[in-house]
Every structure is written in structure tokens, then in C-alpha cells.
Structure 1
Amino acid sequence: MTPQAVLSQPFTLPNGTVVKNRLFKSAMSEALGSRPGAATPELVRLYGAWADGGIGLCVTGNVMIDRRALGEPGNVVIEDERFLPELKAWAQAATRNGTQCWVQLNHPGKQAPKGLNKENISPSAVPFRAEMQAFFPTPREMTDAEVREVIARFAQAAALVQQAGFSGVQIHGAHGYLVSQFLSPHHNRRNDEWGGTPEKRRRFVLAVLAAMRARVGPGFPIGIKLNSADFQRGGFTEEESLDTIRALAEAGIDLIEISGGTYEAPVMTGAKGQPKGAVGEPVKESTKQREAYFLAFAEKARAAVKTPLVVTGGFRSSQGMAEAITSGAVDFVGLARALAIEPDVPQRLLAGQQPREQVTPKNTGIGFIDKMGLMEITWYTGQLKRIGRGEAPKPNESPLWVFVKYIAAQAGLGRKKKPTKLRAT
């Protein structure tokens, strides 16, 4: 089969949901929510562009389940029905042309910058590494009651996503956010029922899945984005990840997206090179030739479970994408940054054409900024905002100029009068 024939094949999830092709848009932070946390016309326009561009399954940027726990300015928040009309408009645009669109639900835990929230909470009060403590405060350890409240919030948000007309949800269990923190022995040093052993560290994510399923029923897809590893000393390992994948499969998860890394080790952005194998493990030359960052781990996951899998990160050509699928390692190939500079790239791939633009590292020339991979988020977020405004992306925009604009914008926000607090309704 030709690469375009492979990528054009529909896929039926175990619960009967049909995805029209094998191209999966992975979550990217849009920062396009309103100040109170509602979806905006910019999000409607952005996701309409992707739905018109031919993607099969589209996952939103991280949507928060608690307005007291934002991950960044501009997050959409789903707590109750106050913004349901805006969510419905977003869902309607995002699901046109038979596109599946799932909302990624998230809680940042400790991974929220200073000054954004009144306080940050986490499984344990473990600070960031020394050079990042100026940006991220040490979190407070969650109480048992808070753990259970967060589980309920995930379930409530999933039910509202279903009510709004989206076609599924994804739990953000990767990249160092709260679910990932519970799984990691570095971040989770509890000795109660939520920590102390790998089995207890998995209890939180399994409780989130069970609570969601109880609210949305068996026919509404629930996926998860999960780290293959944290890539930091004392963190979540490949062995624990495979055990978590087995547990999630047994619990009925519908789709697993494999990624890796945290803000402290941002391998998911490519900032530290392609993370192909376990830390310290030699990488075969044949593996180096592959495009996807986490494909070697996906093969291990495929040997462990039959649950549909997707890998995001590193794909550059339709040939590389098709080979990942025909090898049997994955069922979908994930795209992210390519869609920020070329929203209709799925149409080109499905027509047998190559992308017009290539994803390249975004560096400012400022050492500590580039080391943290911050521009790999900020630069592409700027492109998403352009599309949301109805403008064309600028693939050659200077990362340094984007960084200067970002700093100027943050300084301007700091001078503005703080908004009046919203009343609960």
C-alpha cells in the first residue's frame, strides 16, 4: 500500500467509535481562553481550520478542571455549565467534516508558574530543581479529601464535555502535570493509599478513569496521554509505564498516546534530542533512522496490550508515518507543531504530497531559555493565535522576536489593574 493509502484507512476503536483516518492531532497549548476561562471565537476558528484541514482525531490543548489551578494564562476551564454555550460552539466547529475532537482534561499540580495561582498543590511537597525554583513555587502536599475532590472534578468535566457535543476526552497523564506527578516516585512520596508503591501510585489515574466512565458511559471514548518515562533521576520509568499501560488497558481505556518528559526534562519538545530508548540504554542505528521519538517504547507497549496506540513527536514524512503504522507498533500517528504552521497538512499527506513546511528547533540564542525548551511552546502558541485571528501562520518568524514580544506582553499584563474576582453562580 502507498503511504497515503495507509494513512487514509479508517480505524474503529474497541467501543465502536470510528475515526476517519490515521492522523491524530496531539494537544498543543493555545492560551486562547477568555480571562474567566471560557472558550472563545478564536478557538472556534482555530479548530474549524483543523477540522477543514482533514485531521481524523483532534485533541484540544489542556483544559483545566479547577479555576484555582491553572497551568498558564489563557486556559479554558470546565467546572460547571456557566460556559456551556461557548463549549458547544467550539465543539460544533471542531467536529465538522466527521472529525473526532476530544478535550484534553488536566490539572497542573505543582507545574504552574509563580503568581498564577494562590498556591500549587501536588501529591508531595517536592520543589523543582534549583535553577527552576525562581519560576515555580514549592507545592503544598494534597490532603486525602483534596485528592478525592480532584477525581470528582475530572469526572464532572468529562460529563460537561460530552454534553457540549465533543466526541471524547483525553486524560493528560504526561509531561509532569498532576496525574503524571502521582505516577512518579520522584514527585509522589506519600505513604497512604495514593503512594508508597507503584500499585498505589497508579491508584489515582485509575480512579480518575473509573469516575469519568461512571459519568459518560461506555460509548464515549476516554483516552490518556502517558509518559513512556520522565527522563529524570528517580522518576517514572519505562517499567512502571508499561505496568500502568497494562492496568489502564484492563480498566477499559480506549486509546493511549505515548509521550515522555516533564518541564524539568522536556524531551517531548525535542529540546534535548530524540529520546529513543531508556535512559543510559544504547540506541541501535536502525532506531536512529526512525522519525518518531517514542516508537521503540510503543513496540514494547504493543507487545503488552491490544489497546489502540498513538505516538507523537518527530514524524517528518508520510513514508515514516505509514511505516510506523504498518509495523504494527501504533494505530495512529500524532502531529502537533506541523499543524501550527500548516493547518491543512493532513489533506496533503492523504493526497500523497509532502508537507510544504518542516518543523525546526526554535532557539533564541539565549542559553538558559533554549535549554528549557520554552520557545518550543511559546513560538508555536503564537502561530495558533494567528490562525485563531484568521491570519496565516508565519513559519519563518524569528524566535528571538517572539520572545521579546512575549516578555513585553507579560510586563504589560503586570502593569494592568487586577480584574474583579468572579462571583460563583
Structure 2
Amino acid sequence: MNIGQHLTLPNSVTLKNRIVKSAMSEALADEYNNPTQAQIDLFAQWSKGGAALLITGNTPVDRMHLEHAGNFVLDPSSDMKRVSALAAAGKSGGAKILAQLAHAGRQTPEAINAHPTSISDVQLDLPGYGKPTPASEAEFEEIIAKFVRSARLAQEAGFDGVEVHAAHGYLLSSALSPRINTRTDRWGGALENRARLAIEVVRAVRKAVDPGFIVAVKLNSSDFQKGGFDHADSVQVAVMLEAEGVDFIEISGGNFEEPTAYQHASKSGSTQIREAYFLDYAAAINDALNIPLMVTGGFRSSNVMNDAIASGKTDLIGMGRPFIADPAFATKLLNGEIAKAPAVEQDFPPAETLPRGAVLNWFCAQIALAGQTGAPDLAMSVVDGHESYLNQIKLATDRLLITRRK
């Protein structure tokens, strides 16, 4: 088996190969959190690039719980013509497209919501985030209903499916973590209780959409934090999710406080060692499952990807950053024109010499450029890209807050 082979999901939908554009925070929505033409054009570019599946960046189900002011939100106030245009763009080149549904929980910036709803009152240990309010029983029901509502809207708009985001420290992920989930009621304590919110969201979404509509879940292999959600827990939750009828599970890791998923290889590092960050964790999860598994994080070389699939450690290869540098790299990789996906981050200075979050922010700035001008500026310095993106966040937040006050 290799990256060029098709894969049929449990709901009988067939993916034409094993390459997936994993979610990246495009943050290109307008002040009303609707998709812009820049975002639509970007997905049209990616669809023509040869990947089997595209997953949108963080798509909140609740306007008061955004990961970024520039998120595209999917709710009854959304401009469905634009949402449908985004879905159509994602499919225009032959790919399938999923909307990644999320609730930021305590990782909602303070400027957007000073007291976001979370699983507990444990505050994010980073500047710019407020004290969260623990969800009530009624609020849990509302949250589940919002995921269902957004999934139905995604189906109406023409998306091929949704991915429920239960990784990277957002609400469903933080509920899984015993470090963050300090509740003593039926939503906290034992793993079965900590997994309740994610399981009930997935169960309700699966029931609400058509059988042929893809329902996937993004799950941490581990939070990589002492006392957090660990690998043994992840294997058990993956099995629980399979029982709810999900079509595949994507494995990643880390959160805002421990951003393992956002690593990059420096000149001094071994690029081979740094590929496929979560593959060893994924192998144990895949052994426990009968549904496909997708691993995201660090893949660049086609031989590493093919080995990962052939060895049964994963079924799908998720990548994000290479799509920014060259939207057509997947076709080139599949036809043997190149042996390695673009890896511009391997020429960056070591992460410890850069401002916190600079590498991630550089890539986010490149996404904005690619959407607005049709091409990134790969010659831009990491620090310049970082500063550009910080300005972009400020402008998007200011526009959003002005709109809210109208």
C-alpha cells in the first residue's frame, strides 16, 4: 500500500489517494465571520493540487468562542451563498472537503470573550486569555446542539462531511484532560465521564446527517503535559469513537500551552527523525481500530509516508504547511516528479532563537498572502511574517468588535 492508492471509508465514500490537507487556521473570514473570496480562491487552488481530501481550518459552531477573530463561523447567521461557494471551490478540482467544527472553550482570546465557557475554571497559562466559566448542564446540551446545527448546515452547503475537533486544547479536548477537567459530576473524573462531551457530540452529529456524509474526529495522541490526557487514554477514546460510527480518526497532539503539533525542524536537527511526529503513538491506536486512521504532523518524504502506510501505522497522511509553499505538490509527489513535499521550515533558524509562535505565525501570514494575491512570499523573514500576522490578528479583532457593537 502507498499514498497513491484509493481508500474507501466505512460509509462507502472513496478517497482517490491517501494525501489529506489537514486543517490550518486560514483566518480569512470577514468581519461577519463569513468566508471571503480569498478563502474561496485558496480552496480552489488546493483542490486542483491533487490531494484526496481538504479540511477547513477551525470553523467555530459558536460566535462567542472563536479561536481567531478571522474564523469562518458556520451557524444560522452565516452567509450560506458564500459557505456553499467555499464548499464548491474545495470540490472543484476533484478533492472532497470537510468543515472542521470546533468550540474554542478556554482558548478563546480574551478580546473576543473575557469569560468563555469551558469544562472548568482552569485558565489557560498564557497572556491574552480570560478566566473561563464552567459549563452548566443546560450549556452542555446547547453546545451539543450547536455542533449538530453546524453539521447540518455543512451538509446543506455541499460539504462532503465534517471533522469534529477534539484535539489541541479546544473545548472537547480540554474536557478529556484530567489536568483541566476538574469536575466531579458526570462530565468529569473517570475517562468515560471526561469523554462524554466528545462522544455525545459525535453521536448527535452522526445521527443528524446522511449516512454518506463523512463524520471524522481529530484527537490528540497525548497532550504532552504532566497530568493531562495521555496516550493510554487516547487509545480508549478512539475505540469509543469508532463505536459511534465515525469514518476516520485524525491523530495529532499538544495544545496552546504545549504546542507539539507546531514544531519545525531546524538546520541542526535530523529531518528524518523529525518527520511523522505522532506516528509511534498512532500505531497503537491503529492496532485497536477497524476504521481508518489519519496521522498529521511532520510528514515530508514520500518514502516515509509510504512506509507508514505499508507498515499499518496509518491509513491517511495529513499535511498542512506544504500546501502553502506549493498547492500542487501532492500531484508531483504522487507522479514521482518530487520525492519530498516542500519543507521551507527546515531552513528556518532554530525555534528557540525566535519569538514564541513565530514559525506558526509566519505560515499563517503566508496563507493570507496566498489567498489574497494567489501566491505566498517564501522569501519573507520569519520575524517579518510573525509581525505581519500579529497585525492581521489585531485588525481582524478590531473589525469584529466594531461589527459586534453595531
Gap regions ≥5 residues in structure 1: 274-284
Distance 1:322 1:57 in 2: 18
C-alpha displacement of 1:56: 0.4
Distance 1:411 1:206 in 2: 35
Paired residue type of 2:75: E
Q: Which residue of 2 aligns with 1:204?
A: 197
C-alpha displacement of 1:16: 0.2
Distance 1:320 1:163 in 2: 38
C-alpha displacement of 1:359: 3.4
Q: Which residue of 2 aligns with 1:164?
A: 157
What's the TM-score once normalised by structure 2's chain length?
0.93
Q: Which residue of 2 aligns with 1:278?
A: none
Aligned-CA RMSD value: 2.5
Q: 1:415 to 1:139 in 2, by over 3 A?
A: closer
Q: 1:415 to 1:364 in 2, by over 3 A?
A: farther
Contact kept? 1:81, 1:160, Cα under 8 Å: no
Contact kept? 2:33, 2:78, Cα under 8 Å: no
Q: Tell whether 2:318 aligns with 1:322.
A: no
Q: Which residue of 2 aligns with 1:357?
A: 342
**SS across alignment from 2:294:** strand
Distance 2:395 2:69 in 1: 14
Identity of aligned residues (%): 37
Q: Tell whether 2:394 aligns with 1:401.
A: no
Q: 1:269 to 1:153 in 2, by over 3 A?
A: same
Contact kept? 2:265, 2:274, Cα under 8 Å: no
**SS across alignment from 1:205:** helix
Please, which of 254, 257, 260 is the counterpart of residue 264 of structure 1?
A: 257
Please, which of 118, 124, 130 is the counterpart of residue 120 of structure 2?
A: 124
Contact kept? 1:266, 1:272, Cα under 8 Å: no
Please, which of 4, 10, 21 is the counterpart of residue 17 of structure 2?
A: 21
Q: Tell whether 2:43 aligns with 1:51.
A: no
Give per-residue Cα distances to partners, 1:163-211, cap 9 Å, x unaligned. 0001010011100000101111111111111111111011111100111
Contact kept? 2:26, 2:368, Cα under 8 Å: yes
Q: Which residue of 2 aligns with 1:309?
A: 293
Contact kept? 2:176, 2:194, Cα under 8 Å: yes
Contact kept? 2:144, 2:200, Cα under 8 Å: yes
Paired residue type of 2:108: A
C-alpha displacement of 1:421: 3.0
Paired residue type of 1:268: A
Q: Which residue of 1 aligns with 2:323?
A: 339
Contact kept? 2:265, 2:346, Cα under 8 Å: no
Q: 1:81 to 1:113 in 2, by over 3 A?
A: closer
Paired residue type of 2:379: N
1:99-110 to structure 2, matched below 5 A, reads 99-110=95-106
What's the TM-score once normalised by structure 1's chain length?
0.89
Contact kept? 1:128, 1:136, Cα under 8 Å: yes
1:18-417 to structure 2, matched below 5 A, reads 18-80=14-76, 82-129=78-125, 132=126, 134-270=127-263, 289=273, 291-354=275-338, 355=340, 357-360=342-345, 370=355, 372=356, 374-409=357-392
Paired residue type of 2:231: E
Distance 1:166 1:307 in 2: 21
Distance 1:62 1:118 in 2: 20
Contact kept? 1:357, 1:395, Cα under 8 Å: no
Contact kept? 2:3, 2:18, Cα under 8 Å: yes
